[in-house]
Structure 1
């Protein structure tokens, strides 16, 4: 496998697409191939934890305020990247379940950020070595993790597909078996 020993591999996607499952499966595969790797959840820092717990009512109430915070959210992302992801600090391959791209999708979902700003934001964020957007139908996502209803999943899915298109990254259909998805991911990494 032609993989840099300090690569950053990220999985993005709505809840129920299998990010954690595939991240752990890839970690196991790399371990079996004698490649050191570590797993991290991309939203372990305080600002992200708080923003990912927001509901639509709270967002609606403070939408204008949140819009004013977009530049600060970007700076927070850069600081987190420098402290957590920067290649000079990596000792091995990092596999991240979520990344800053997921936050941008959430900003789009809640209509805090217009698409033209999201395009700029997505392209200005530090680019990982490998980015995979995971996709599955809302029906499957709800069966796996029923935190959102069908309409909410459809809205999230639309925003994730938009972000993947802007970034020109592979979209993995996770309605397939874990082995099939992992094989597709490994094929992209080997390119």
Structure 2
């Protein structure tokens, strides 16, 4: 797994030619985000480009312990991570009771403000390339974006946060996602995917279609090449996909 540099040490090691780039990866659990982020970070290491890798839940989310505790105590949500043959019963973002949607919407404002602060602080510490594992889009995808009011709210929140240079959205079939991570009901995953696809249009996310791990890696790399000077030969994704 590629490792990011400590932001405090980036100033001393960052090449002068390194561009300022903000990257984000979004998508449902089971879409392969972690694997593809690892691939991308290894590419940056091979190219000699220091970076900072941040996880939205660990580094940005407001009141994470309180939110996790509420889900566990009041919504009876399992706290584990589902795996093939080892399902867990999560009951948090899939619960779309109106009062929970209102509460989440308020919390997302704090998340957005925290995100602005974290990005500004990380850049001030010398980071030129920042890679986010999840972003504000993943929070907004839990909302019922089929409703105009929810879409309007999402647009407002998106305007509050730094816009990534590339915001990847990794697509996945809900059935395949549930097989990889059996945590949420299948009917919710279909709604969840529709919300992500709505955000693609609302926020201009870069959709990476569900393909093989290697094809997805190449699609991500080709998009990245437009803003980050990676070293080494790059295969053509379209020619590979047509084989």
**TM-score between both structures, scaled by the size of structure 2:** 0.65
For 2:87, the equivalent position in structure 1 comes to none
**Residue among 159, 179, 189 paired with 1:143:** 179
Give CA-to-partner distance per residue, 1:129-160, whole Å, 9 cap, x none. Answer: 21101101011111221111221110110000
SS at match of 2:182: coil
Instruction: Find the counterpart in structure 2 of residue 77 from structure 1.
Output: 112
Higher alpha-carbon deviation: 141-150 or 85-94 = 85-94
**Between Structure 1 and Structure 2, which shows a larger proportion of helix residues?**
1
Q: If you compute each CA radius of gyration, which structure gives the higher value, 1 or 2?
A: 2
Q: CA RMSD of the aligned region, Å?
A: 2.9
| 1:10–1:56 distance in 2 versus 1, CA, 3 Å | closer
Corresponding residue SS for 1:108: coil
The answer as to whether partners of 1:16 and 1:144 remain within 8 angstroms in 2 is yes
- Cα deviation, 1:18-49, whole Å, max 9, x if unaligned, reads 11111111001111111112322111145263
Aligned to 2:135: 99
Equivalences, count: 184
- 2:39 is equivalent to residue 25 of structure 1: yes
1:177 is matched with: 212
Out of 21, 32, 35, the residue aligned to residue 49 of structure 2 is 35
TM-score of the pair, normalised by structure 1 = 0.81
Alignment of 1:42-121 (within 5 A): 42-44=56-58, 45=60, 47=62, 49=64, 50-51=66-67, 53=71, 55=92, 60=97, 62-63=99-100, 66=103, 70=106, 73-82=108-117, 84-86=118-120, 87-108=123-144, 114-121=150-157
